[in-house]
Each structure stands twice: as C-alpha cells, then as structure tokens.
Structure 1
C-alpha cells in the first residue's frame, strides 16, 4: 500500500510523534511511505524521521507581515496537497491537523477516485484562538467555516480521545452524523526500552533528592508557568532544609523560528529567576529522546500542566517510566485513565489545578 502523510510542521510535538510513529510502523510493515510537510529541520526533529522519505513544500510564507497565520497554514498545506496529487502515486492520504488540504483531494477525486483520505483531528482549531477585534472575528468566521466544511470531506475522521470526540461534535454541528473513530496516540515501548543514558546525558539530569519535571512545548496553552508557581508554593509547605533538596526541571520543545516559543521561554525563565534559587530550577530546550527519557526515569513526579488537554502523551510516557504524574484534572487523558488506571501498575497521582495554583485535597 502507498501511504502519504501530510503534516504542516514536522517538529517534535505530540502530533508529530503520532505521525512519525505511524509512518515508521507502516514502513517497517513493508508499505511505501512518503511524508510531505511544509517545514522540516533535521536539527529539530525526532531522529526516526531521518530514515523516512520526506518532501518539503515551502512555496508560501508562514505569515503575511506577521499576520494571518491560519490562512497561510491553510494555503501552505493545500499547495503541499497539490504537489501530492500531481507528483505522487498513493492509495491513502493521512492528513494531520489542517483539514483545508482535504478540499484539494476532494477536487482531485473527481478525476481519480482510487484513493481514500483520513483526517486526524487533535482538537478543533477554532477553539484555540482569540477574537479580540471585529476584523479578527470576520477573518476567523471564514477560517472556521472552511475548517468545519473541509473536515467533513475526509473518508475517515479520527480523533485522539473521547474528550476530543465530544468537543468536535459540540463544535462542528454539521458533523453530528459523522462517525468519529477514537485512535489514541501510541507509545513506542521498544524505543523507550532501548534508550541508554550516557555520561553526556547524565550531566543534564538533576541529582537532587526530590526532582520534579515539567515536559511540554514552550507555548502559552501548555500552562507551564503553573509548574513554577506550584514549586514556589511548595516552599511554604515544607521545612527549609527539605525544600532545599527539591529541584524543578522545565523541559520542552523549542523552535528557534517560532515567535511564541521564544517569547514564552523568556517569560518563564525570567519568572523563575525572580522567585527561585538558580540551583533549584533548570530549563532544557528541545531535549533529545535520551534526555527526555532520563528526565522521566529520574523524577519523583512529573507535573502535567495543560488545561483541557486533548489527549496528553506525556502522562503515558511518564507512567511507562515508573514516574507518578501530578496533573490538571481536565481533558482527554483524564477520561482515558479513568478507564484504564485500574490495570496500570505504576502510580498515578490525581492533582487538581484551580486557577493559578495546585491545591491539596
């Protein structure tokens, strides 16, 4: 089978992890796999991607004078879809995140119907943006309509959790009668088991007696500041000598060309410097797989801060590494673990984040 994966930005986030795992698995099964993306940087990627057949389509800018990110993303992936239609032989197209590209495949199917499309929805994009002005509301009304309309064009719509499925049905009224298949992101356990921590990695890991780890992209929606605020409050709950044995590591995906990553990382670091001793808090940008696994294995607890997270692969990875999780009590991962927690051997701590602090039950 010939499979094309269409993805807007092949970085090191959870969505990219899903695409890479699926592509690698199909490739190892003997299928012909091609990944087409608008952006790919070998210095900022999962290392498995270096063995995949990847094509970059960068015919259109990311923004227009720093604005219209969504519109440009739609156009960029539609152009990538056009490249696929005219240059690739394929049986299945797996379209991730941006549904607008399905418009191109729908038109192409009028001339060639020998393929099927799968759209993987992580979360409705229209719920991830603000509408501060009348102009922004008008702009987003068009973008939102395209998103809903094009999503329904897929032969199969997949979502990452029951939580996301419920949100999609509530948000996209025209998809009420469409079947949504819940396909949870996978965990490559063999890869985790194969990772050995060398001395170069060991130098980055805190050897404090009580280490807490936050592992999320440096984006505002990931709510990473909550981890720092909770660690600061811990000082009032512990004796001074015990608190000095605690350490917080903030690690996550960081793209040097992403304005939000740059800005939010700076804000977090400044906030930590103002409220914590330097020896008690460390920041790691874009940790390698080896560093990430070492952090998870060495932590006393992983702090998972995103509110209403769609699925949440970090708690799964942490629990596989035998690290308990303190998490915001909302989102898709909560529904997933309520269902499976009794069967999981490692600990799961249910923390409840209210407003800007972690509170004790």
Structure 2
C-alpha cells in the first residue's frame, strides 16, 4: 500500500475561477486517495468560493492577509501578491509554527511561485511541486505607448523572480503540452527540465444523468460558452453563422453564453461589439440575464446572448446543443470542450493550443483555423443539415468515453500523486548548482521589495501632498470669496447709510 502523504497547498486567492477549480479538484482527489490535505490561502470569501472550500470537505486556512493589501490604489498587484504569499509562509512557518505541526511531506504551490525558494530554505526535506497554469508575465496587461514601456520596465524584476522561483521547485507540472512549450520558451533555464502534464478535470460522476433534451423544439442550437472578453474571439462564431445559407440559418439558433460582470468594462464592451456585429449582418438578436422560459425567445431571433449563466442553465444548454463552438486562439487548455464532450456534444474548436489535446479531429469533433471563418461555417452547415445523424451520435459517444477515460477527477488525482512521488525525496536527484548563490538571491529579492515599497510610499506621499495642496487652495479660494463678499456688503451698507 502506498505511503500516505501530508500535502500542504499554497494558493493566493481561493475564489471562483479555473485555477481555483483545479486546486479544489486536486485537493479533493488527493484526499480521496487517503492523503492528508491542508490548503493555505491569503483570501477566501465564504460567499464567493467553491462549496468544497466552505462546507468542511477541505481544511482551508486563511493566513497572511492582515499586513499587505491585494493592490495599492488598484495598482502594484504583482508586488502585493508576492508580499502576501511571503507573509503567509512567514506566519505559518516562523510565527505560529502551524506548518511544523502539520508535518508536511509535500508542498503543492500553484499560480505564484515567489515563496518556493523560501520554502526550500526552511524545509529542506520536503518536496515541492509547482503547478504552472501559464507564465504570469504573459498574462499581465501590456498597455499602449509610454504606458507599455513603463510596464515593461516595471515587470523586469518580477519576471526574473518568477523564472528563478519556478525553477527552484523540485518538480513542475503544467496543464497542457501547449503550456509546457510556452513555459520552456519563456523560461530558458527550464528548457532541459522534465515538465509533466496533468490535465484539469471535469466531474464525470453525473455523466449518465446527462440526457439530450431540446429547449427550442424544431430549432438546431449552436452553442458558445466563454467569458465576454475580446480575446475569446466569440465574434468568429457570429461571422461563421452569418455566412450560412439563409434556409439553414433560419432553422438554427446561435446561443452565446458566458461569464459577464457589468462592473468589468471589457465584458460590457465585448457584449456591445457582438450586438453591433450581429446588426451589421442583419441578424436579429436578444440578450437575457436569465432564461426562465425558453419559449419567450422569438422565432425570428438568430443570436441569443445569455449573461452569467448559472450551472443548471449551462447544463440545460449543453443538453440542447447540436454543436459547441470554442473560438479562443492559443487557449492554455480549455475546460468547456470537455464539458461539451461529456454531454455528448460534438466540438468545433481552434486547431491550436489546448484543444489540440482534448478534441480529436473526426472522432469527437473538428479543429479549424481561426483565421478562416468559412471553414467554421462549413462545419456548422454540415452539422445543421444532418446528412448523417449517426455520425454525430457516434462523435458524441466518443467524446464522453474520452473524457471519462482521460479527464476524470480520479485520473487527475492519480497523475498528481505520481508527480508528488517523484519529488518525495529532494536529495535523490542532484540539483543543478545555481548561477547565483541562494543567499545573494535573497538579498536581491529583499532589495527589490524594499525599493518597490519605497517607490510606492514615495508615490503615496506625493499623492497625499497633492491632495492636501488642492484642499488648501480650495480653502483659500473659499476664504477669498468670503472676503470679497464681506467688502461688497460693507460698501453697500455705507451707501445705504449715506442715502438715508
């Protein structure tokens, strides 16, 4: 029987998102395999997290959230994230010795690697596995013009820290082969490292309960599920749908569903752009925040936008769909195609990035060039005209079998467990000597943090001084206005007296 492990997770913000879903699934899966799992995070709002993080399924502990904010006036997010993670580790390792009481055999760190060198320094006999979703420096917003230059300079030390701290892990796993290739290109020091692939998973336990059931009788449904963001390129689906022959298009409905937050300007802008695009093709469209009655949708509607769909509605949409279109270019992985395949829906996706590893051409769906909308339209037409319904049913069955065999929670937990076994003893494999001694790197990091805090404090000081000066000027103007008013009153009073 395999030896039981004490695995400690470190995750920055345990909210609701793809990375958080993976962490929860990984923790639950490893716990189901008999290991002790503890999750440390700097933030976890019970009202905005996955159920397993708040219902006692997992041991989630929030630490290191009292000193450093998540951002400073909406900026310096990466600096604050690094400081919060270091603060968390210092609290549980050096302040209350909570980490010692857990007697960890393994550390699982994801999303942010800054604390890995510190963990290696404090716990030399504990193996550290880092799960890389995607290099942070490629996810950071670039800006334009002078802002882009400033941001590029600002990111230099943080990119260096990310590269060095990631390489300090005893083992590194990625969410796809595509991400692994990007990581090796961005971090040259990892070019010779063996990056294991551990795919994210979907819940396959309810697969047999998913039954096809149309929400719109007599109409075929092409479904797109993505956040309302420009990079998701949902416009491609609209363009391809618009180019279909009128008789085929008239009997179909393009449903665009996904995450939408009215406070996020990009979500608002993307939704408006999709509406304008539909108008330019003379496609009638509707938008709903919820869909209590599918029959309320007009028969003349060609494009239906559903904002922030709950999971129950998403499952109903998948059960109604004849084809899922997944349009993002160079997606790191993409969980939506797996959800569609589990629901026995054929998938049309980009022939690059993560979908190359999930969708099998001709067996579970089709892979097409995002720069050629006509290729996407051809697949849509093929599905909607149903020349061979048995072929589509076979694709759906193949998709479900593939997901159940390769992308279940059990498979992900098994692969993670095997990866943890490989880093169980950090002394088994000799580590490459660092180019710069660890103590010097620590000095450099401390210096960078100190300089960054100094710059932040200086900026805050000048901001407060400017606010104070503006307030003083306002008071002086007010006083001056009062003085002039008093003089006018005095002169007016004197004139009145003289007249009397």
* Distance in structure 2 (CA, Å) of the matches to 1:238 and 1:47: 45
Deviations 1:117-137 (A, max 9, x none): 110011112222326433212
Task: State the shift of 1:191 in Å.
Answer: 4.3
The 10-residue stretch of structure 1 (273-282 or 121-130) with the greater mean CA deviation from structure 2? 273-282
- Using a 3 Å threshold, how does the CA distance of structure 1 residues 144 and 334 change in structure 2: closer, same or farther? same
What runs of 5+ residues in structure 1 fail to find an aligned partner? Answer: none
Q: Does 1:350 align with 2:367?
A: yes
Aligned counterpart, 2:401: none
The yes-or-no answer on 1:247 pairing with 2:253 is: yes
Post-superposition shift, 1:355? 7.8
Aligned-partner Cα distance in 2 for 1:245–1:47: 40
Counterpart for residue 115 of structure 1: 126
Which stretch shifts more, 306-315 or 290-299? 290-299
> Is contact 1:250–1:282 with CA below 8 Å preserved after alignment?
yes
| Structure 1 position 296 matched with structure 2 position 307 | no
1:329 aligns with 2:331: no
CA apart distance, 1:98: 0.9
Residue 325 to residue 155, structure 1, CA distance change in 2 (3 Å): same
When the two structures are superposed, what TM-score results if normalisation uses the length of structure 2?
0.61
Do the aligned partners of residues 244 and 336 (structure 1) sit closer, same or farther apart at CA in structure 2, a change above 3 Å counting? closer
Which deviates more, 124-133 or 325-334?
124-133
- Give the secondary structure class of the aligned counterpart of 1:316: helix
Matched residue of 1:66: which SS? coil
Count of residues in correspondence between the two structures? 339
Separation of aligned partners in 2, 1:118 and 1:31: 16
Deviation at 1:195, TM superposition (A): 7.0
8 Å contact from structure 2 (residues 114, 165) kept in 1: yes
CA distance in 2: counterparts of 1:105 and 1:208, whole angstroms: 60
Distance 2:256 2:15 in 1: 19
Shift of 1:172: 0.6
Is 1:168 the counterpart of 2:168? The answer is no
Aligned pairs for 1:153-164 (under 5 A) are 153-164=168-179
Q: How has the CA–CA distance of structure 1 residues 231 and 135 changed in structure 2, closer, same or farther, with 3 Å as cutoff? A: closer
Q: How does 1:57-96 map to 2 (within 5 A)?
A: 57=63, 58-59=65-66, 60-85=68-93, 86-88=97-99, 89=102, 90-96=104-110
> Residues 193 and 93 from structure 1, CA distance in 2 versus in 1: closer, same or farther, beyond 3 angstroms?
farther
Match of residue 128, structure 1, among 127, 139, 155: 139
Q: Does the 8 A contact of 1:13 with 1:253 survive in 2?
A: no
Change in Cα spacing, 1:323 to 1:139, as seen in structure 2 (3 Å) is same
Sort the Cα spacing of 1:206 and 1:98 in 2 relative to 1 into closer, same or farther, 3 A.
Answer: farther
Matched ranges for 1:262-281 at <5 A: 262-274=264-276, 275=279, 276-278=284-286, 279=297, 280-281=303-304
- Check the 8 A contact 1:44/1:255 in 2, yes or no: no
CA drift at 1:175: 1.4
Q: Is the 8 A contact 2:11 2:40 kept in 1?
A: yes
Cα distance in 2 between the residues matched to 1:349 and 1:79: 47
Q: Does the C-alpha gap of structure 1 residues 305 and 208 become closer, same or farther in structure 2, counting only changes over 3 Å?
A: farther
SS at match of 1:189: coil
Shift of 1:322: 0.8
CA distance in 1, matches of 2:70, 2:160: 21
Residues 281 and 208 of structure 1: is their aligned pair in 2 closer, same or farther, counting only changes over 3 Å?
A: farther
Give the drift of 1:147.
Answer: 0.5
Of the three residues 14, 33, 39, the one matched with 2:37 is 33
In the superposition, the TM-score normalised over structure 1's length comes to 0.82
What does the per-residue CA deviation read over 1:153-189, in whole Å, with 9 as the maximum and x for residues that have no partner?
1111001122111111111111123221111222331
- Alignment root-mean-square deviation, CA: 3.0
Q: Distance in 2 between matches of 1:254 and 1:5?
A: 30
Pick closer, same or farther for the CA change 1:8–1:77 going to 2, 3 Å: same
Aligned residue for 1:237, secondary structure, equals coil
1:218 & 1:35 partners in 2: Cα distance? Answer: 31
- 1:237 corresponds to which of 237, 244, 259: 244
* Aligned residue number for residue 105 of structure 1: 119
Relative to total residues, which structure has the larger helix share, 1 or 2?
2
Q: How much does 1:252 deviate?
A: 3.2
